[in-house]
Structure 1
Amino acid sequence: MDEGWDTVEVPARGSDFLQLAVADVPAGGKAEWLAGRLRQAIADGRLAVGSRLPPTRVLAAELRVSRGVVTEAYRRLAEDGQVAGRRRGGTVVVAVPFTTTPPPVPDGGSGEGGVPGTGGPGGRGAQGGNEAGGAGSVRDAGSMGAAGSADVAGGLGWPGDPGDLTGPSPRERVGGPGGPYVGQGAGGPGRPYAGRRVDRPAVPRAGQGTPRPPGPYPGQGAAEDGQPYAGEGGGPGGLFGGEPGVEVFDALRAAPAAVDFTPGRPDLTTFPRAAWLRAERTVLAELSAGQLGYGDPRGAPRLRRAVADWLARVRGVRVEPDAVLIVAGTAQALTLLHPVLRADGVDAVAVEEPGSLGARQHLRNGGLATPPVPVDEEGVRVDALRATGARAVLLTPAHQFPTGVVTSGERRRELLEWARDGGLILEDDYDAEHRYDRPPVPALRALLADRVCYLGSVSKLLAPALRIGWLVAPARYRAALVDAKRFNDLGNAVLPQLVLARLMESGELERHLRLVRGRHRRRRDAMIAALAGHLPGARVHGAAAGLHLTVTYASEVPDTEFAAAALAHGVKCQPLSWHRQSPGPPGLVLGYAATPPGVIAEGVALLGRALRELT
């Protein structure tokens, strides 16, 4: 039996709306405080005319205040003439106060002063740190209850401990325990990646293994024996044997299994089919014949406006609609960036270690080197980033993949200093909306617009099949990116864009988010409880947010062997080593959002059986 269809979740220490945190709510004068934050957001443009305010019941629950507090705050703004109630349409912004001081230009600021409630200079650094335990805290599966809300002190542990995701592995891997590590190129220690050109790898023919890209890279030996990547040959051993190639995700997706713990998938059974159909009918009824022609390669203006409004309200990112480029997901955003970055003299994009294998493959496919930068309990290490010599870095600061670490306030300041010195941050905000036990974390783009390319999509919020995302780049890159999009596909399909815009404007998307948060939380709790019972001693990372857990264990069994054995028992998952370039402790990356609690329990029991048979 699956969970209920609750539409209001247990408060997650704050609201995504304007990045309001429970810790910020004063003991007294709550209504005046909330009214002040709303007035400020209306004045600085984060809440534009026509923006819809959250229902009073929902916002009160998220901030843990009485509904009367929110109602009184809305009433004060209504008396000022700034908002108005529209019955079934909710409360919307209807006027912006007159000011003689123009609001800061979203793309021209240096980040000074930050955004209220953020970790930028002049803002609250605590929100970006481990104030709430953080998603970077480590949980011991053997000592947690079903809620999985108790953090274990000590961060990610010491190198060599199973809780440390960056220390050496218990068994030697390719490349040996001695490296190469961060700051070490193929030619020896201290050789940076900057300036190295990487040839575009060849596309393999069907049935052939994937040729290795130029290297060696850290954690990757030279191609001495010509062994193919994973995916060549049948059975779990063929899938998880050797270096993972570009076809490995397709091969894993096609592999039959009773339980699928593949990370990155939301609960697709909750896709709002009825709301989508209603929105589609409305759009078709309003659509003119001319709008069925070729659209703007930047994306439908209506969706770009809706995305700009969404980012301002939910992620604290102020941006003009003209700065939004609609793309076919984050994968296409990275593909469009390849030639633009190379034309700007960037030939290496540093990546998190561990970090997404898929993102790394997309960057290498564009001829870009991917030097690894270790992640600790506060996020990516900026000192190691500087040591690579790379001018750009791809980050997941709100919920690092796969560790779940939240970049701390101090580390964010270090990153912004690095960026001001000429660095470029590619911010992949892939699942920031899915949080359960921590306050909302502001996007880096909100703090330093002219040095951050912001990437987002609805793949984790609605469904990957929609292939709709957005790219917000610094002004100097926009024309080249629009050209790249134009020559790539002339622009996304217009009709789905207009339907999504309608969902955003009507509040349906936020209602859907509240629904799936509750369901995902219960599934996360079910997985944590099952891990405590069937994998005692395993450590769970990144449980405070996201759609997956990373689990490390003390056994000498390599995680590729564990994943192969799990698949033989009917359970699909990804080994943590797939997402590494350097040696590290073994682990599994387990997605829980798409699987009902009962099936989760059965799948984890099979994982426990598979590991016992290997030891």
Structure 2
Amino acid sequence: MSETWANATGESGLDLHLDLNGRGGVRNAIMRALRDAVRTGRLAPGTRLPSSRSLAADLGVARNTVAEAYAELVAEGWLTARQGAGTRVAQRAALTGPAAERKPTRAVRTAKPEYDLMPGTPDPSAFPRAAWLTSARRALTTAPSEAFGRGDPQGRLELRRALVGYLARTRGVRADPDRIVICSGCAHALGLLSRALDGTVGVESYGLYVHRDILAAHGVRTVPLRLDDHGAEIEELASTDATAVLLTPAHQFPTGGPLHPERRAAVIDWARATSGLVLEDDYDGEFRYDRQPVGAVQGLDPDRVVYLGTTSKSLSPALRLGWMVLPENLVDGVLAMKGGQEWWASALDQLVLADFIDSGSYDRHVRRMRLRYRRRRDQLVTRLGEHAPRVRVTGIAAGLHAVLELPPGTEQAVVQAGMSRGIALEGLSPYRHPDSTMAPLDGLVVSYGTPPDHAFAGALEALCQTLAAES
């Protein structure tokens, strides 16, 4: 078989695009194209070129023609050729023309803060690389060939089965694999659920603005429910036209309280009486430190509650893996919204996560991180008591963040002061629903989960200095 572009092989079978023209013969055309590519910077100094044999096959010319062009460019100083190193663009090859005349530009960006205490991310350095790699090897070794094709929009059955057992055991969720749909996270889930959210959704007065924006983008209006120490005031739903409600009952985000047991029962009663729907965002439900985590509201009525979970806090937001446990009558509609194949969540990552759960690695990681985050929260509370005693930590001992209550009218000044000390901070005000009738709360939403271990002590010190100076 003669060598062509499609079947050329070998160690130097690198792809290289050259624009050739017929003036002066093929060898001269190759030389001109290579000079132009180097001159304009398209081929940077040190770039390895295909072997003469491979490039000749790609261009459909004789190998000697390419070899002669290479040899002449080596003699001219454009290329270098050494035994074992192949043919490369010479380090001395200078840019000329328009590309050389352009001065390098730098994007204007703000200085990166020394300490990141912004909420929403676990410690990225704590990702369980070794255990994940073990699961990845095992999952890829045993994966059926069809796993490498177009994915099932409902998600891999292996992961859905693993989630059934895990969620039942740890969160009291009642499900079967046919009622689980894999997605890329809570934001993706809300977009998929938008068809079922007819008209108006009740939301907590303080909550993720991203979620409110997603609902609004799908034509869904949100009405805020007031919050107190017992969570969302569920009785307010009766005075709205809401047909669904979005809650963070295990650990209200961002204010930090759990939904009181009476209100958990009340929201189920409301859903049954009105044929309404409860959307339960259980974003950090595994991380409760003062007691065993409260079970999911979904366990009270699986036909009226959509349970939303994700790996973004327990493992990493980089995985882009989440799940919905749906009432049976919503599954087909959500899958129709998702489309005929999986566009969002990697099937291979799903297989790895399934093995990670089934092997017990997920439990071990969560327990390890629960201990680490509890110690960090304890350190935060202790240091604030010593250096900024007028700043109160509110909410339960749970999750990856704490809310620091500030004197009225001081939130923005403290955030700015933190920035001047190299700390990335966020206040409570961005989370407030614009239509809320609650009195505005002044506070900081501080993530003790984000900094790596080596930076946590410094971040805590800088935060305490800021609060001591401003409070």
Please confirm whether the aligned pair reaches a TM-score higher than 0.5, indicating the same fold.
yes
1:575 partner SS: coil
Residue 388 of structure 1 and its aligned partner are, at CA, apart by 2.5
For residues 534 and 337 of structure 1, do their structure 2 counterparts lie closer, same or farther at Cα, with a shift above 3 Å needed? same
More helix by share: 2
Aligned-residue CA RMSD (Å): 2.0
Give the aligned residue type for 1:285.
T
For residues 538 and 487 of structure 1, do their structure 2 counterparts lie closer, same or farther at Cα, with a shift above 3 Å needed? farther
User: What is the TM-score normalised by the length of structure 1?
Assistant: 0.56
Equivalent in 139, 142, 145 of residue 286 of structure 1: 142
1:519 partner SS: helix
Give the aligned residue type for 1:355.
G
Counterpart of 1:564 in structure 2 is 416
* Cα distance in structure 2, aligned partners of 1:265 and 1:437: 22
1:449 partner SS: coil
Task: Find out whether 1:361 has 2:208 as its counterpart.
Answer: no
- 1:132-281 correspondence runs (5 A): 256-281=112-137
8 Å CA contact 1:520–1:593 kept in 2: the answer is yes
Equivalent in 443, 451, 455 of residue 304 of structure 2: 451
Q: Which runs of 5+ in 2 are unaligned?
A: 1-107
Counterpart of 1:328 in structure 2 is 184
* Cα distance in structure 2, aligned partners of 1:369 and 1:409: 27
User: What is the TM-score normalised by the length of structure 2?
Assistant: 0.72
| 1:571-601 Cα distance to aligned partner (Å, 9 max, x none) | 1111101111234131000000122567444
For residues 363 and 340 of structure 1, do their structure 2 counterparts lie closer, same or farther at Cα, with a shift above 3 Å needed? same
Detail structure 1 runs of 4+ shifted over 6 Å in the superposition. none
2:308 partner SS: strand
For residues 288 and 448 of structure 1, do their structure 2 counterparts lie closer, same or farther at Cα, with a shift above 3 Å needed? closer
* Cα distance in structure 1, aligned partners of 2:339 and 2:216: 22
Equivalent in 474, 488, 494 of residue 347 of structure 2: 494
Give the aligned residue type for 1:446.
G
Q: Which runs of 5+ in 1 are unaligned?
A: 1-233, 236-253
2:256 partner SS: coil
| 1:9-31 Cα distance to aligned partner (Å, 9 max, x none) | xxxxxxxxxxxxxxxxxxxxxxx
| 1:518-577 Cα distance to aligned partner (Å, 9 max, x none) | 1111111111122223322111112411100001122532x2332122112211111101
* Cα distance in structure 1, aligned partners of 2:222 and 2:341: 24
| 1:358-386 Cα distance to aligned partner (Å, 9 max, x none) | 22222222222121101111121112222
* Cα distance in structure 2, aligned partners of 1:322 and 1:491: 19
| 1:224-274 Cα distance to aligned partner (Å, 9 max, x none) | xxxxxxxxxx99xxxxxxxxxxxxxxxxxx861111111122222221111
* Cα distance in structure 2, aligned partners of 1:613 and 1:524: 22
Percent identical pairs in the alignment equals 42
Counterpart of 1:184 in structure 2 is none
- 1:201-600 correspondence runs (5 A): 256-341=112-197, 346-422=198-274, 423-486=276-339, 489-490=342-343, 492-554=345-407, 556-557=409-410, 559-581=411-433, 582=436, 583-596=439-452, 599-600=455-456
Give the aligned residue type for 1:400.
Q
Counterpart of 1:146 in structure 2 is none
Is the deviation greater in 498-507 or in 590-599?
590-599
8 Å CA contact 2:428–2:442 kept in 1: the answer is yes
For residues 435 and 369 of structure 1, do their structure 2 counterparts lie closer, same or farther at Cα, with a shift above 3 Å needed? same
Q: Which structure exhibits the higher relative contact order, with contacts defined as CA atoms closer than 8 Å and separated by 6 or more residues?
A: 1
* Cα distance in structure 1, aligned partners of 2:358 and 2:463: 43
Residue 607 of structure 1 and its aligned partner are, at CA, apart by 3.6
8 Å CA contact 1:266–1:460 kept in 2: the answer is yes
